[in-house]
Amino acid sequence: MENNKQPNIVFIMSDDHAAHAMSCYGSKINTTPNLDRIADEGMRFDNCFCTNSICAPSRATILTGLYNHENGVKTLGDNFDSRQPTIQRILGENGYQTALIGKWHLGHGGHHDPADFDYWNIFPGQGDYHDPVMIEIGEEKKVKGYATDLVTDISIDWIKNRDVNRPFMLMCHHKAPHRPWDPDERHAHLYEDVDIPEPETFHDDYSGKASAAKEATMRIDRDLRVRDVKAEPPEGLSQKELKSWYYQRYIKDYLRCVASVDYNVGRILYYLDEAGLTEDTIIVYTSDQGFFLGDHGWYDKRFMYEESLRMPFIIRYPRAIKAGSVTKDFALNVDFPETFLDYAGIEIPSHMQGRSLRPVLEGKTPEDWQTSMYYRYWEHLSVEHKVGAHYGIRTHKYKLIYYYGEALGNADAIDEQRTPEWELFDLDKDPYEMCNVYNDPNYAEKIEVLKKELYRLKAEVRDYE
């Protein structure tokens, strides 16, 4: 029964689902009972961060255990080279059966297709919510149904039809709740008669931030389209009323898409129970990055600010993880593949740049555990949403961000230059990041220490540009 020692891995990742839209993370705007069950029966990470808050780069990091300058996917325009070593290849070489179902978004055709999975069935590009086209191991077909239901149906079928004598890893990747936020029938009328509360920072005027914040085009009241909110804005509203109207239209559809993800995660949990797989399976729920839910007056992500930097990360494995545990220890998306290899008892390749979360999961965080993390966003002003390129460091107490003002290391971008700017946030005093204290002399010494650590981390991850 040697194989029973290797756990199955069910990795469920949605797209753009912010932690603050999950009740286990204290959401003020919705409830997610099925997702909460994973947290209740396992561990919740309160400080899990992505190293570049955008879809394709985060996905490439999770597959490779490498930062984006090392895996070649720095921007949405970079396709993934599937010839490089990945978690699925290593698991496959060590007896696992593997599948990826749903969102891939790393390019397709030739060596951009998913590789080294026994089975794959993906949406081309962003995919559609209703009756999507799917590509099943290279064969394209239109499928009837709603994306989140379909990804779940195909996932459960794949588990049912697997070789029961070998462990498996399933990557179940939802399109939802990505723009344009089209709900399914089952959840289309949720929240119809209620007003969703607006976030604390809804009316941020960006005066306490670097000028990149003001320049970004992701404002609720200005940059959402009719396609996003599925209605023409009513006439005769004040600017403030219009902003609230846009927010309600946007957030309700977003939360309806989340409700369908929650419902479908419940179906997977139920199936694992019924099939007697719960004890032997590591199940993870996460999202490729966070999202602004009206926070700072925005939708979308990209910035190193908390709402977009933080990933939900909840994980259950009854054999090793104590139910109901919570940690504030740092975890990064680059740590995920090493964690799975560790639990599978497979040697972790030395080129991988993360660290297995296993000791944290088992309540034995080492003394030298990471207390600072490196972030870099390479896209620049020429792409949608006009968020200037930046890198930075977050510790438990501070966040230091540098907008370097050009499209360095992003060959496809039109290089619009800006004056470089720094931001420092004191996260204890200012958790919503409303007040840049970089120029406050009281922080001068702290800034020197943080800069030193920032450049140490940058060199450690081999980002030399």
Q: Mind giving me the DSSP string for 337-349? A: HHHHHHHTT-PPP
Q: What is the largest CA-CA distance in the chain?
A: 71
In whole angstroms, the minimum distance from the beta carbon of 15 to Ca ion comes to 4
Q: Which residue's CB is nearer to Ca ion, number 167 or number 183?
A: 183
The Cα–Cα gap between 118 and 129 comes to 25
Q: How far is CA 11 from the centre of its chain?
A: 13
Contact 295, 307 (CB under 8 A): yes
In whole angstroms, the minimum distance from the beta carbon of 451 to Ca ion comes to 30
Q: Which residue's CB is nearer to Ca ion, number 178 or number 209?
A: 178
Binding-site member from 8, 12, 16, 43 for Ca ion (CB under 5 A): 16
Q: What would the 3-class secondary structure string for 261-321 be? A: HHHHHHHHHHHHHHCCCHHHEEEEEEECCCCCCCHHHECCCCCCCHHHHECCEEEECCCCC
Asked whether position 204 contacts Ca ion by CB under 5 A, the answer is no
Asked whether position 41 contacts Ca ion by CB under 5 A, the answer is no
In whole angstroms, the minimum distance from the beta carbon of 250 to Ca ion comes to 16
Q: Which two tokens stand for residue 400?
A: 């230091």
Binding string to Ca ion for residues 238 to 277, with x set by CB under 5 A, is what?
----------------------------------------
Segment near Ca ion (CB under 5 A); pick from 53-61, 194-202, 326-334, 419-427: 53-61
In whole angstroms, the minimum distance from the beta carbon of 291 to Ca ion comes to 8
Q: Which residue's CB is nearer to Ca ion, number 18 or number 154?
A: 18
Which candidate, 332, 340, 333, places its Cα nearest to that of 358?
340
Q: Which two tokens stand for residue 316?
A: 């259950």
Return the residues of window 393-422 that contact Ca ion according to CB under 5 A: none
The Cα–Cα gap between 250 and 418 comes to 31
* Three-point CA angle 128, 131, 135, nearest 5°: 70
Asked whether position 184 contacts Ca ion by CB under 5 A, the answer is no
Segment near Ca ion (CB under 5 A); pick from 15-23, 237-245, 256-264, 358-366: 15-23
In whole angstroms, the minimum distance from the beta carbon of 301 to Ca ion comes to 7
Size of the site for Ca ion (CB under 5 A): 4
The Cα–Cα gap between 313 and 363 comes to 16
Q: Which residue's CB is nearer to Ca ion, number 14 or number 88?
A: 14
DSSP secondary structure letter of residue 203: T
Contact 219, 239 (CB under 8 A): no
The Cα–Cα gap between 235 and 294 comes to 22
In whole angstroms, the minimum distance from the beta carbon of 73 to Ca ion comes to 13
Binding string to Ca ion for residues 274 to 303, with x set by CB under 5 A, is what?
--------------x---------------
- Mention every residue, 6+ apart, whose C-beta is less than 8 A from residue 165: 3
DSSP secondary structure letter of residue 360: H
Asked whether position 55 contacts Ca ion by CB under 5 A, the answer is yes
Which candidate, 233, 296, 274, places its Cα nearest to that of 425?
296
Q: Which residue's CB is nearer to Ca ion, number 36 or number 288?
A: 288
Segment near Ca ion (CB under 5 A); pick from 49-57, 91-99, 310-318, 367-375: 49-57
Q: Which two tokens stand for residue 74?
A: 């720095």
Binding-site member from 6, 15, 21, 223 for Ca ion (CB under 5 A): 15
Q: Which residue's CB is nearer to Ca ion, number 42 or number 177?
A: 177
Q: Which residue's CB is nearer to Ca ion, number 300 or number 335?
A: 300
Q: Which residue's CB is nearer to Ca ion, number 228 or number 288?
A: 288
Q: Which residue's CB is nearer to Ca ion, number 41 or number 262?
A: 262
The Cα–Cα gap between 106 and 103 comes to 9
In whole angstroms, the minimum distance from the beta carbon of 202 to Ca ion comes to 22
Q: Which residue lies nearest Ca ion, judged by its C-beta?
A: 55
DSSP secondary structure letter of residue 5: G
In whole angstroms, the minimum distance from the beta carbon of 288 to Ca ion comes to 4
User: Residue-wise over 435-445: b if at least 16 C-beta within 10 A, else e?
Assistant: ebbbeeeebee
Q: Which residue's CB is nearer to Ca ion, number 15 or number 379?
A: 15
Q: Which residue's CB is nearer to Ca ion, number 55 or number 437?
A: 55
Q: Which residues bind Ca ion (CB under 5 A)?
A: 15-16, 55, 288
